[in-house]
Amino acid sequence: MSYKSADELHHEAQCLLDEYLDRALTLKVKERQKIPGQDMPVQDPEVRAHNMDEVALGYSFEQARVEAFRCLQCAKKNCMEGCPVKIDIPRFVDMIAKGEIEQAIAVVKETTLLPAVCGRVCPQERQCQLHCTLGKSLKDVDSSVAIGRLERFVADWERINNKIVIPSVKPATGKKVAVVGSGPAGLVVAADCRREGHHVTIFEAFHKLGGVLRYGIPEFRLPNEVIDKEIETLAAMGVEIKTNFVVGRTRKLTDLIDKDGFDAVFIGTGAGLPIFMGIEGENLNGVFSANEYLTRINLMKAFDKNAATPIFPSKKVVVLGGGNVAMDAARMAIRLGAETVQVVYRRTENEMPARKEEVQHAKEEGVQFLLLQNAKKILGDERGFVKGIECLKYQLGESDASGRRSAVVIAGSEFTLEVDTVIVAVGNGSNPLISQTTPQLDVNKRGNIVVDETQKTSMDKIFAGGDIVLGAATVILAMGEGRKSAASINAMLLASAKYSNRAD
Partner 1 sequence: MNEILFKQQLSADVYLMRLHAPLIAAERQAGQFIILQTDDDFGERIPLTIADADTVEGSITIIFQVVGKTTKHLSAFNAGDALPALVGPLGRPTHIENFGRAVCVCGGIGVAPMHPIAQALKKAGNYVTIITGARTKDLIILENEMKAIADEYIICTDDGTYGRQGLVTAPLKELCEAVQKPDIVIAIGPPVMMKFCSETTRPYKVFTQVSLNTIMVDGTGMCGGCRVNVGNEVKFVCVDGPEFDGHLVDFDNMISRLNAYKEIERTHYKCFIEKAFNNNVKEVSL
- Residues in contact with partner 1 by CB under 8 A are 205-208, 215, 243-246, 249-252, 272-274, 276, 278, 282-286, 288-289, 291-292, 295-296, 300-301, 304, 306-310, 312-313, 383-384, 431-433, 436
Q: Which is nearer to partner 1, 324 or 488 (CB)?
A: 324
CB of 196 to partner 1, least distance (A): 28
- Report in angstroms how near the CB of residue 302 gets to partner 1 at its nearest: 9
Hey, what amino acid is at 333?
Answer: A
Instruction: Compute the least distance from the CB of residue 320 to partner 1, in Å.
Output: 14
The answer to whether 340 touches 305, Cβ cutoff 8 Å, is: no
Which residue, 356 or 377, is less far from partner 1 as judged by CB?
Answer: 377
Helix (H, G, I), strand (E, B), or coil: what is residue 414? Answer: coil
For residue 147, give the DSSP letter: H
Contact 84, 41 (CB under 8 A): no
CB of 332 to partner 1, least distance (A): 15
- Tell me the closest approach of the beta carbon of residue 425 to partner 1, in angstroms: 12
CA 247/CA 256 separation, integer angstroms: 9
DSSP summary character for residue 385: B
The alpha helices in 82-223, defined as continuous H runs, are 89-97, 101-111, 115-121, 133-137, 147-160, 184-195, 212-215
Distances (CA, A) of 370 to 318, 332, 335, 341, 392: 10, 18, 20, 10, 11
DSSP 458: S
Nearest to 368 by CA among 330, 407, 417: 330
Specify the residue, 207 or 446, whose C-beta has the smaller distance to partner 1: 207
| Least distance in angstroms from the C-beta of 207 to partner 1 | 4
Nearest approach, Cβ of 211 to partner 1 (angstroms)? 10
CA distance 83 to 425: 27
State the nearest-atom distance from the C-beta of 310 to partner 1, in Å: 4
Rounded to whole angstroms, the Cα distance separating 208 from 242 reads 10
- Taking the complex as a whole, how short is the minimal distance between the CB of residue 208 and partner 1, in angstroms? 8
Residue 49: count of CB within 10 angstroms of its CB:
18
- Pick 109 or 376: Cβ nearer partner 1: 376
Phi, psi of 374 (to 5 degrees): -155, 155
Could you tell me the smallest distance in angstroms from the CB atom of residue 84 to partner 1?
Answer: 25
Q: Find the angle CA(231)-CA(145)-CA(216) to the nearest 5 degrees.
A: 35
Would you say 41 or 218 has its CB closer to partner 1?
218
Distance (Å, whole) CA 426 – CA 275 = 6
* Residue placing its CB nearer to partner 1 in the complex, 157 or 203: 203
Neighbouring CB atoms inside 10 A of 428's CB total 21
Shortest separation between residue 206's beta carbon and partner 1, angstroms: 7
Q: Radius of gyration of the chain from Cα atoms? A: 24
Q: What is the distance between the alpha carbons of residues 113 and 115, in angstroms, rounded to a whole number?
A: 6
**Comparison of 314 and 342: residue with beta carbon closer to partner 1:** 314
- For the bound state, the minimum distance from the C-beta of residue 378 to partner 1, rounded and expressed in Å, comes to 13
Closer of 42 and 300 to partner 1 (Cβ): 300
Judge residue 445's burial from the number of C-beta atoms within 10 Å of its C-beta, 0-12 exposed, 13-18 middle, 19 or more buried: exposed
- Nearer to partner 1 by Cβ, of 84 and 268: the residue is 268
* CA distances for 239 relative to 171, 184, 247, angstroms: 14, 15, 18
Min separation Cβ 125 and partner 1, Å: 29
Distance CA 428, CA 450 (A): 17
d(CA 247, CA 202) in angstroms, rounded, equals 10
Which lies closer to partner 1 via its Cβ, residue 412 or residue 439? 439
Q: Are 57 and 43 in contact (CB under 8 A)?
A: yes
Nearest Cα residue to 77 out of 95, 97, 91: 91
Between 271 and 459, whose beta carbon lies closer to partner 1?
A: 271
> Which residue, 13 or 317, is less far from partner 1 as judged by CB?
317
Residue type, 33: Q
Between 285 and 395, whose beta carbon lies closer to partner 1?
285
